[in-house]
Amino acid sequence: MSRKSTAAGLLDWPIVRGAARDAFVKLDPRKLAKNPVIFVTEMVSVVVTVFFVRDLLANTGTAGFTGQITAWLWFTVLFANFAEAVAEGRGKAQADSLRRTRTETHAKRLIDPAGKSGMKDVVQGVSALDLKLGDVVLVEAGDVIPCDGEIIEGVASVNESAITGESAPVIREAGGDRSAVTGGTTVLSDWIKVKVTAEPGSTFIDRMIALVEGAQRQKTPNELALSILLSGLTIIFLIVCVTLWPLAAYSGTTLSVSVLIALLVCLIPTTIGGLLSAIGIAGMDRLIRFNVIATSGRAVEAAGDVDTLLLDKTGTITFGNRMADEFIPVGAATERELAEAVLLASLADETPEGRSIVALAQSRYDVRAPFSVEAPEPALEGAGAASDPDPCAEMTVVPFSAQTRISGVNIAGRALRKGAVDAILAQIAETKIPDGFHKTVERISRAGGTPLAVSDNGRLLGVVYLKDIVKPGIKERFAALRAMGIKTVMVTGDNPTTAAAIAGEAGVDDFIAQATPEDKLAYIRKEQQGGRLIAMCGDGSNDAPALAQADVGVAMQTGTQAAREAGNMVDLDSDPTKLIEVVAIGKQLLMTRGALTTFSIANDVAKYFAIIPALFVAAYPELEAMNVMRLASSQSAILSAVIFNALIIVALIPLALRGVEYRPVGAAALLRRNLLIYGAGGLIAPFVGIKLIDLVVQALRLA
């Protein structure tokens, strides 16, 4: 997400228009009570309004001054409400786009499902809203999946762009960790039977809508601590302003209630108080723009302080399916001869492994199938090579079975077979095993791969190296996490040899082999007891306990329902390295809050120099030395400070929503940056702003 596109979102006129309306709705004291600073500002605005009405009816000469203060105090409250409403409006816009995917959908509910082909069951057409937990629905090519569920039969290509925004379809199939489907997505090919796992109104999309609208957002510990600090400062300045009245009377200075309230509002941290909610909401909104749904504001904050990241291997670091990586010939066989043989043996193999073998033979060795398996009378053209099958030959497919652990074809008098090494060797005499075959198999096994032996009429041609492929670019992303001070740990059920090979290829810092769900849970608890914050990425049901225990549990959208419900974040792109963006956004949220708090408190110091001399200069002429801005009059000074106090909230709304730019620097460097930029800026800006406003106020008064 570029800065430009984010900035464009800030200026979305429909959001601004709705936020302006909501700013008035939020004047309800019951809503503002959650924000003590702005609540106090509203209450004192009511008091000043009463005094303005009194002065107006009494026709006193101070009615105009009191009225201006009243107006700008109310503007301060409205601008604070507006900041929060803009942030909420961006979330509601996201929710509306999700809600559009939840249009009226019809479902094919199965009555007593029994058939295996998907065509022999009794189908009842119903509305998706009438589906109940445990119902089974048939979803065919072109149908919209009507509900969240688990595939219990079939395999299909599914378009999940309505949820993830990605146009590339994904494969969903029964069994394993890729069986979960989401309502609102579309089946592009084949058919699946889906068991409903969520009641209407509590589906994944429903939860996403509620979350992005902020309905379930809770204040985080950091926010609560900051709220307590702001409340404390408000009480302190309230006491100060109350005690100023008798002190002023003792010195012979008469202070009106309106002036004291103006002083109070200028001194309490209204800037950060007005922007605090917007910062938190915007942090979750930025996650959504990276296709990550956070179910907890606490998780967003915790992501900014994560020390260790645990990642499940299968489906998270790797694709999860064994794929062909290399053809290794043995004996007198050549690579091309092996590639041609294994291509023919795999043409009818629809497993992921079989498809990957065909793809590798075509891409790396430029071997093409001379016919399609479905063709009844295959025509073989260009048969010049010795290994080409006879054009008149018929092909017989030998399907894979758990008993034989072998598959292949019989064609042109050739019996082409591929399968488990021991199963293939059982058909071959010991004297016909080429030298180096066993060493090749052992080398593949040590590297964590799976060897498949290939034979042609009982002659060993070589070995297919199947491996769990590491997702591209993941090593560089882990290096970026390491640079951010985050330790990466891979957890897998594989043996230590396989785990070490995958860990080395992926570039993780450590690994836990042969890990059970209990092992993952114990590791996280041990690290947490040492004061570390742990993030966990996973997609399987066996990852659910660890996802629930981790401070930041990122579940993959492609994972099971149990994993998605256990995590406090869901990555719609199923990219485990997305945690880089999650951590950056968490750190950005904390940095933004700290920067604006620094700016707000520094602001108050500068406004002190504007108002205090104006209040007491008549009684103590020495205070004129503090009037460094040379403001025109006491009334102009007070009014200019109040106007600046209101306008600075509006000026900082884009920064609160966009966030302070994150840079991976240490805490000391970050503190220096905050003090130099936002501390110094908070001191200088009011001097410049109040002086300019004072000049405008004087010009208007003289006009």
CB 83 within 8 A of CB 33: no
What's the token pair of residue 38? 């702005």
Helix (H, G, I), strand (E, B) or coil at 447: coil
Query: Is 418 assigned a ligand-binding role in the annotation?
Result: yes
Residue with tokens 């509620």: 210
Q: Which long-range contacts (CB under 8 A, 24 or more apart) does 20-26 make?
A: 20/82, 20/85, 22/81, 22/82, 22/85, 22/88, 22/89, 23/78, 23/79, 23/81, 23/82, 23/85, 24/78, 24/81, 26/81, 26/84, 26/85
Neighbours of 122 (CB within 10 A): 11
Query: Is 307 assigned a ligand-binding role in the annotation?
Result: no
The C-alpha angle with vertex 191 and arms to 189 and 192, in degrees rounded to 5, equals 130
Query: Is 400 assigned a ligand-binding role in the annotation?
Result: yes
Return the half-sphere exposure (C-beta side, CA atoms, 13 A cut-off) of residue 128.
24
Annotated catalytic residue: which of 55, 206, 312, 468? 312
Residue 215, class by beta-carbon neighbours within 10 Å (0-12 exposed, 13-18 middle, 19+ buried)? exposed
Query: Is 543 assigned a ligand-binding role in the annotation?
Result: yes
Closest residue by Cα to residue 123 from 104, 140, 138: 138
* Distance (Å, whole) CA 591 – CA 656: 11
Query: Is 404 assigned a ligand-binding role in the annotation?
Result: yes
Query: Is 163 assigned a ligand-binding role in the annotation?
Result: no
Query: Is 407 assigned a ligand-binding role in the annotation?
Result: yes
Q: What residue type is assigned to position 369 of the chain?
A: A
Specify the DSSP element, H or E, that contains 345: helix 335-346
Residue with tokens 């429909």: 14
Query: Is 401 assigned a ligand-binding role in the annotation?
Result: yes
Numbers of helices and strands, H then E, in the chain: 24, 20
Q: Can you name the residues that pair with 407 across neighbouring β-strands? A: 418
- 96 as an active site residue: the answer is no
Query: Is 349 assigned a ligand-binding role in the annotation?
Result: yes
Dihedrals φ, ψ of 515, to 5°? -85, 130
CB 481 within 8 A of CB 580: yes
Residue with tokens 């400062």: 233
CB 290 within 8 A of CB 585: yes
Binding site feature residues: 349, 353, 400-407, 418, 539, 543
Binding site feature residues for Mg(2+): 539, 543
Binding site feature residues for ATP: 349, 353, 400-407, 418
- Return the active site residues: 312
